[in-house]
Amino acid sequence: MTWRRSRYLLLGEERYRDRAGRTVRMAYSARDASMFALDEGTAARLAGGGADALASLDAETLAGLAARHAVVDTAEDELAAVLTGYREGSDAAGARKITVMPTSYCNMACDYCGQEHFKAPVDNARVERVIRRVEGVIADPETEEVVVTWFGGEPLLALRVIREMTARFTAAAGRHGTRYYARLVTNGSLLTRRTLRELHDELCVRALEVTIDGPEAVHDRRRLKRNGRGAFHRTVAALAEAVREGTVPGMRVGIRMNVDEQNEDTVPDLLVDLACLGLASPQVEIHPMPVHSWGNDVSAVELEARRYAQREAEWLRLARSLGLGIPTMPGAVKRTTCAATSRRREILDPSGRVFACSEHPLVPGAEAGGVVATVDDLTGAAPRPAGQFDDWYEQVGDGAQQCGRCPLLPVCGGSCPKLWREGHVPCPSVKYNWAERLDAAALGMGYRPVGAA
């Protein structure tokens, strides 16, 4: 077998000393979603990349590199292998993910949000049809696991509906021996100690994503409730208490920061506040995210990608110094790009319409065109009909999209097919700041820069 460097291997330039005094460089294999240190000699040969450069490596070293997909057989078509993995993951019948929107209303009116929110009475007949759809998926003998994501609008405005649906879902899962758990995406304004306990103990929520856009004054200006009141203090206090007292031990908490020109300079202040207020915990992970078009025009405040990536690298270093959990490099290979690229995933809105893409419901101009079915059209556990982006991997494979040339494809998947087709470049910031992320990870792992005292 003749080896070559994988097209999905990233090599850092900085040199470090490990605890044994060896000089090493950091590496990241996107095909394996793993980060590791390489001795300088091995790194130099991999940097050369060709079969001749690798031929002098011993068999044990090559076997270790091959196990991480850092080197591959020269005969392997890596792009085809990665896309095959995506297609298999997207078609896998055992894992089903369903996003349920129990309400179309939100108690906030953020100016960068592309959704249109409105109040509507709960239609019990429609709720029942959505329940039967999810029960049908749970009951399918091929289904091993069902994950429901509660989305909105603001889903906690419909907590009664979530309770009713969850009782039916968990009962069905018990009858059929299917694993079931939930995620919930919320603006956080309605979180209390009691609600968090209920979400964890009774409603099977194992992942919570809460948006906090800056320190109190900034957050409460950007994400003001419709009654004119801010929610920063209430939200952070409820989360910090739950983490401190260990009342929701099985729940991962993600703090999303939507960042644009209006709040980018306040991100460091927010990180310090979150650490001081008790959210520096292994249970909590920080997710800065650049604001992007969501059926609306945010060009006046949207940050240029490379500028955002540079700022993010600074925030990452600060967060780690404060003990906050913040991802360095992606830690898992993706099974599918997003809901829009897998017919085993779907979004159900409050009226019982079925969408493939999460950025279509409640978005004027996109909503009608994004409907692929209604829950009445779907029988049993049948996959949703094909949507606009189910041919995404064919486009990547034939070169119609530039993602096929990107070394991060196995952990990114192309990010957002919708934005690509609309003429936007949705590449994640890691594409532009991966070297700084590797350096931050090296320091966190105890490596010392060569030349440091």
The alpha carbon of residue 27 and the mean position of all alpha carbons in its chain are separated, in whole angstroms, by 22
Checking DSSP bridges between strand 252-259 and strand 284-290, what pairing results, if any?
parallel
Q: Which of 386, 357, 348, 370 is nearest to 132 (CA)?
A: 348
pLDDT-derived band at 109, boundaries 50, 70, 90: confident
- For 384-419, the pLDDT digits (tens) are 999 999 999 999 999 999 999 999 999 999 999 999
Residue count (the chain):
453
Asked whether residue 46 carries a pLDDT value surpassing 70, the answer given is: yes
342: helix, strand or coil: coil
- For 151-169, the pLDDT digits (tens) are 999 999 999 999 999 999 9
* The pLDDT of residue 36: 96
What is the chain's mean pLDDT, rounded? 94
Domain ranges of the chain: 3-78+431-449, 93-369
Checking DSSP bridges between strand 353-355 and strand 371-374, what pairing results, if any?
antiparallel
Q: What is the dihedral of CA 278, 279, 281, 283, to 10 degrees?
A: 130
pLDDT-derived band at 358, boundaries 50, 70, 90: very high
- For 171-187, the pLDDT digits (tens) are 999 999 999 999 999 99
> Residue 261 gets which letter from DSSP?
T
* The pLDDT of residue 229: 82
Please calculate the CA angle 337-341-345 and round it to the nearest 5 degrees: 100
Q: How many Å apart are CA 43 and CA 53, to the nearest integer?
A: 11
CATH 3.40.50.720 matches 93-369? no
**333 contacts: CB under 8 Å, gap ≥ 6:** 30, 31, 32, 33, 85, 410, 411
Q: How many Å apart are CA 353 and CA 361, to the nearest integer?
A: 9
Which stretch of DSSP H or E encloses residue 201? helix 193-201
Evaluate if pTM is beyond 0.75: yes
Determine whether 213 is exposed, middle or buried from the number of CB atoms within 10 Å of its CB (0-12, 13-18, 19+): buried
